[in-house]
Amino acid sequence: MKLYNHIAAGFSALEWEMVKHIPEGGNWQNIPESIPSQRLVQIRKSGGRTTYYGRLIYDKPSYTITTYFNRLGNGCNLHPKQDRVLSNREAARLQSFRDSFIFKGTKTSQYKQIGNAVPPLLARLISSLIKPHLENLTFIDLFSGAGGISEGFVMNGFQLVSASEIEKNYFETYKFNHSQYADPKNFILGDITSPDIKQKIIDTAQNKKIGVVVGGPPCQGFSTAGWRDPNDNRNQLFKEFVEVVKTIQPEFFVLENVLGILSMRDGAAVKEIIESFSEIGYHVNAPIRLNAEDFGVPQRRRRVVIIGSLKKCAIPQPIPLFSDEDKNLPNFITVKQAIGSLPPIQAGDDIIVKDVEMPSNTPYDRLMKEEITFEQFYEKSRM
């Protein structure tokens, strides 16, 4: 089979000296002080995070995949057994992207696409929360990125109508992987704050009944004066999200964001978000906190979703599907189960496409290779 994006960043001479001292589960504390590094000097003084210069553990989920998984010192990015950082494909698997999903654009862009994405299996869970209450399993994906949310919704039987994204490389990845699900003319590249772009997005919903509008608009401006502050341009994207929902009138909206949004301005920011949707006629549920590893993602990642509907509908906090404490549930998916079957490569290897013999050692392998459905994967994980 062909394996895409299985490439790993290289090391400097100094980094090679560091790597050989870091065992599985180790970090910067294992690097001898004799190795000269001004950054390590600063970390030792300040008592830096234990994930810095970290090596993953095979038998546990990974730490959060960030946009810097290609860098040795920026997190726990070392392969558990091989002296290299995670490959793009391995990071994508830890995010739960199927193996046939191909990332386009520059290497730097791919790191950002993978690290910024919503894990498809987490998006699948989100879609399952609202699916029983919908009349139309159609959705529009705003701020789509590479397409993690769309992947999860499509996996759960939803029909993609359209999507929008401003970043060209992200858009090329999205378009390449999702043209089989919707008319590519309905994939809109551009700034949603532009009236023309926003109208193009709205036009894709004409003569269609839209079940859901999903998206994760940046909400940094909420940390200061709130979304109503006309002087904070960072809030404009959120305003456009609300405007699109108001105009299209989907049955549901789903707003996905980082967990930190709940503590912005001591909770006042979330209240303003809920009020903004209430003002346009939506019944908004209490924010739902999600741990990705609870739902089959082999990664510790914390997110929050805010769900609203035109008809009053209670969406409860979902019950975990996986656990390392509840004996009635299958254990969390581990790094080894997720990437252990991928062929070994060298640091700096940049062969983008590989013809490989890759075994299906675990149910997660089979899910990523699209040999089984999520339901089959879950059932086999319980065995």
Number of neighbours of residue 324 by Cβ within 10 angstroms: 13
Q: What is the pLDDT of residue 350?
A: 75
pLDDT digits (tens, 9 = 90+) for 167-211: 999 999 999 999 999 999 999 999 999 999 999 999 999 999 999
Distance CA 222, CA 267 (A): 10
Which residue has tokens 């036009």? 203
Cα–Cα distance for residue pair 170/172, rounded to 1 Å: 6
Domain range spanning residue 80?
A: 2-115+346-381
41 and 104 in a single domain? The answer is yes
For residue 373, pLDDT beyond 60: yes
* Whether residues 180 and 271 fall in one domain: yes
Report the number of distinct structural domains present in the chain: 2
Same domain, 303 and 373: no
For 188, the 3-state DSSP assignment is strand
Task: Please count the helices (runs of H) and the strands (runs of E) in the chain.
Answer: 13, 12
List pLDDT tens digits, range 279-318: 999 999 999 999 999 999 999 999 999 999 999 999 999 9
For residue 285, being part of any structural domain is answered with: yes
Active-site positions read 219
For 61-70, what is each residue's pLDDT tens digit?
A: 999 999 999 9
Burial class (CB in 10 A: 0-12, 13-18, 19+), 327: exposed
CATH number at residue 107: 3.90.120.10
Give me the mean pLDDT over the 99-106 stretch.
96
pLDDT digits (tens, 9 = 90+) for 143-179: 999 999 999 999 999 999 999 999 999 999 999 999 9
- pLDDT, mean of residues 337-347: 96
Same domain, 106 and 121: no
Q: Say what the pLDDT of residue 265 is.
A: 80
Residues 163 and 67 in one domain: no
132 with 82, same domain? no
DSSP string for residues in 17-63: HHHTT--TT--GGGS-TTS--HHHHHHHHHT--TTTTEE--TTS-B-
Work out the average pLDDT over 49-63: 96
22: Cα within 13 Å, side-chain hemisphere: 33
Residue 99 lies in a domain: yes
Residue 364 and residue 248 share a domain: no
Q: Note whether residue 333 is domain-resident.
A: no
Instruction: Point out the least confidently predicted range of 118-122, 125-129, 217-221, 339-343.
Output: 217-221
Cα 94 off chain centre by: 10
Round the average pLDDT of the chain to a whole number and report it. 93
pLDDT-based confidence at 352, cuts 50/70/90?
confident
Q: Could you report the per-residue pLDDT of 227-250, keeping only the tens digit for each?
A: 556 566 665 788 899 999 999 999
- Given a cut of 70, whether residue 220 has pLDDT beyond it is no
- Has residue 298 been placed in a domain? yes
